[in-house]
A = this chain, B = another copy of it.
């Protein structure tokens, strides 16, 4: 049986990612202790762990908070996702076999099905949970054959913070109608094993979350080719 610690950790992570606590809300140890009917140290332990994966802010002698939402933060997380996912996807193209293609196709099919339902109903909310899981699954499968467990673990950490930053109505939960076309384009690039195209597709897909463009090269490339970022 799993340890209590681990259960509380998972549950708290889920609550944080789905935005149950508002941005910048203080996480009172006493309140959580009651929620889970456990001791103070257990709560503290869990909150510490969550703080090192960026889902909780910790300040010495001042306790724990759910992180603030900020354009700055969204920008940095998006940038990092682009960096990790383009790299991971391109490596998967180089290293992954037909088995990887197959899993990616399956993940895309599931996601595509949900996004089509969202489009026809025009309302994301009732499908938000399903969609979130499918979206994460698709993006994780995309980089799954990259050959680096470290890259994949790092990506999960960044992805979850990214999701946490976007779980409010104002930011549209990170959902856009263009997703359908863009996810399809990413799948196509994977099946064509075209790395340059993949970089462009992933970049376009994620850059939608930016309010200002990423910095471009400070001088023109000798070949006029756009850089990866």
Q: Which residues from B are CB-within-8-Å of A195?
A: 217-218, 227
Question: Which among A90-98, A115-123, A133-141, A167-175 touches the partner chain?
Answer: A90-98
A151 touches B76 (CB 8 A): yes
Q: State A216–B94 Cα separation when bound (angstroms).
A: 7
At the interface, yes or no: A225 with Cβ under 8 Å from chain B? yes
At the interface, yes or no: A99 with Cβ under 8 Å from chain B? no
Mostly, the A contact residues are helix
Contacts A2-B60, A45-B44, A48-B48; A80 near B217 (Cβ below 8 A): no
Q: Which residues from B are CB-within-8-Å of A221?
A: 196
Nearest chain-B residue to A83 (Cβ)?
A: B87
A95 touches B60 (CB 8 A): no
A11 to chain B, nearest CB (A): 16
Contacts A48-B49, A80-B151, A151-B76; A60 near B6 (Cβ below 8 A): yes
At the interface, yes or no: A33 with Cβ under 8 Å from chain B? no
Residues of A within 8 Å of B, CB-based: how many?
Answer: 48
Partner of A3, one of B60, B83, B91, B94: B60
A33 to chain B, nearest CB (A): 15
CB 8 Å contact bits of A1-26 with B (1 = contact, 0 = none): 01101100000000000000000000
Question: Which among A100-108, A124-132, A142-150, A183-191 touches the partner chain?
Answer: A142-150
A148 touches B94 (CB 8 A): no
Q: Which residues from B are CB-within-8-Å of A91?
A: 215
Q: State A79–B95 Cα separation when bound (angstroms).
A: 15
Q: State A84–B53 Cα separation when bound (angstroms).
A: 18
